[in-house]
Chains A and B, each alone.
Chain A
Amino acid sequence: MDAIDIQEDSYKDLLKLYIDTEDEKALYGAEKISKSFIKQGITPEEIVNLHIQSLQEMYDDMPQAYLRGLDFLLETMISYGLALQEYQTLREKQLEIKSELKIAAGMQKTLLATTVPVVENLQIGVVSVAAHQMNGDYHHFITGKNGDIGIALADVRGKGIPAALCMSMIKYAMDSLPEDTMGPNKILKNLNRVVEKNVDPSMFITMFYAQYFPQTSKFLFSSAGHEPGFYYHGDTKNFEELKTKGLVLGVTSETDYPEYERTIKEGDMIVLLTDGVTECRYGDNFLSREEVLEVIQQHMHLPAQEMAEKVYKHFERLQNFHLRDDFTLIILKK
């Protein structure tokens, strides 16, 4: 109460100073005092009341009509006071939610952490950035017993918490698949069953899975409706779209994912991405896949990781540093 008492006194003093002198100093004081009132959650009706009391203390001949008018004003302030209190409660709640989200985002980072494997003769570059606090893209590298590399890239349509929860499930499903090496088609078939059983049909999960065998340079892949990647042929200097067939995860319980194969030659490159890359928007325009390719071509001379980062920086700037969708780009270079 002490702080308020002091303020009550200074409110009255400032009011008196202003009435007597019209001094700007008094008004500056009023500004400061009202800020501190807000901080303490003092409501407008209390301020009007303080005003009335201060006037009555200063003048014992206050006209009755004027006082009644002020009482009327006080009455109209009650709902504003309630609005202020509600605002304060909601603000506290929002801070709570924000800090919970921050913790959840941290947990997600730990949960989905993956290390880029070191492979002889193959450079791997990755950039994955969330549009909001939680990432709805998922990528994971697995190194098999006989040295083969598994690369998973998935995208949950939608952003934020629901997408992130879905992603955690995919991660656990992946972890619980049998250890011994499995081909991309089997892995997708398995995950499809898990998703079909556990995820609301309104969630839309696409996934690309690839297996690379360093000894033979064979690259096997299957896709569950995922954004097609690109294959760059070093000899012809041509980009090929990695066309695949295969349904989005979880649509039906039994579905097959055809498996495709390439042999990666010296000078070849593979670009895997999520639609956050191809659906970059600048203003009202969508970026075409050709434009994405152009950007990729501009940075092709760089090492894979640097290249991925440069491409990301390019799109980040194009979108005014405000990502609209989660963005994941994986580059494999030989």
Chain B
Amino acid sequence: MEPHSFIGIKKEWDIVGARQLGREIARKLGFGTVDQARIATAISEIARNIYLYAEDGKVTFETIEGMNHKGLRIIASDNGPGIDNISQVMEDGYTTSGGLGAGLPGVKRLMDEFDIQSEVGKGTIVTAVKWLR
């Protein structure tokens, strides 16, 4: 398995492709069923955001293999409109989909590390890491 793989997100079906690739990589790294399911859900959320708000972007997977540390890094990047007020978006309950716990705050909960960089008019990069325990 190459350390970098990515899936372009243009159609809704690409979200499924991203989930599948992410889950495969996670399984090969040794993540259990629960973590695989969490990682897949996190991928769904960020890939769906690209599909809904940015039209064109990609989700990249990197495996991290340190001395006593193994993990999966997911990077969702797009050249979309960007997010103006990130703090607001990270507040529980801000999501427009109305579901409890969904959206980007959910991604943060599902993963171990989480970061967003965004510039209005330029695009958004969401990075999330899950460590193997």
Contacts and interface: CB of A to CB of B under 8 A. Distances in A.
Interface of A: 45-46, 49, 52, 71, 74-75, 78-79, 81-87, 89-90
A160 B38 CA distance: 41
Contacts of A75: 37, 40
B37 A85 contact: no
A82 B103 CA distance: 10
Dominant SS at the A interface? helix
A25 B101 CA distance: 35
Nearest to A71: B33
B100 A45 contact: no
Q: Which 9 interchain pairs have the tightest Cβ spacing?
A: A82-B101, A83-B100, A86-B101, A83-B101, A82-B106, A78-B41, A49-B34, A75-B37, A86-B92
Contacts of A89: 92
A79 B32 contact: no
B109 interface: yes
A49 B105 contact: no
Interface in B8-23: none
Interface string B77-111: 00000000000000011000001111001100110
Contacts of A87: 100-101
Given A78-B38, A78-B41, A82-B110, A52 B99 contact: no
A79 B101 contact: yes
A317 B1 CA distance: 74
A74 B35 CA distance: 11
A79 B37 contact: no
Contact of A79 (B41, B92, B93, B105): B41
Contacts, number: 49
Interface residues of B, number: 17
Contacts of B38: 45, 78
Contacts of A83: 99-101
Nearest to B100: A83
Interface string B98-129: 01111001100110000000000000000000
Nearest to B110: A82
Contacts of A85: 101, 109
A118 to B, nearest CB: 53
B99 A79 contact: yes
Given A49-B32, A82-B106, A85-B109, A74 B37 contact: yes
A74 B41 CA distance: 12
A45 B92 contact: no
Nearest to A47: B34
Contacts of B34: 45-46, 49, 74
A46 B110 CA distance: 13
A85 B100 CA distance: 9
Nearest to A87: B100
A86 B102 CA distance: 9
Given A45-B34, A83-B100, 8 more contacts: A46-B34, A52-B33, A74-B34, A78-B38, A79-B101, A81-B101, A83-B99, A85-B101
A85 B103 CA distance: 13
Contacts of B41: 78-79, 82
Nearest to B40: A75
Nearest to A70: B33
A79 B102 CA distance: 7
B38 to A, nearest CB: 6
B109 A82 contact: yes
B60 to A, nearest CB: 22
10 contacts: A45-B34, A45-B37, A49-B32, A49-B33, A78-B37, A82-B102, A86-B92, A86-B93, A86-B106, A87-B101
Nearest to B105: A86
Contacts of B37: 45, 74-75, 78
A81 B106 CA distance: 10
Contacts of A78: 37-38, 41, 110
Contacts of A49: 32-34
Nearest to A50: B34
Residue of B32, B41, B93 most packed against chain A (CB within 10 A): B41
Contacts of B100: 82-83, 86-87
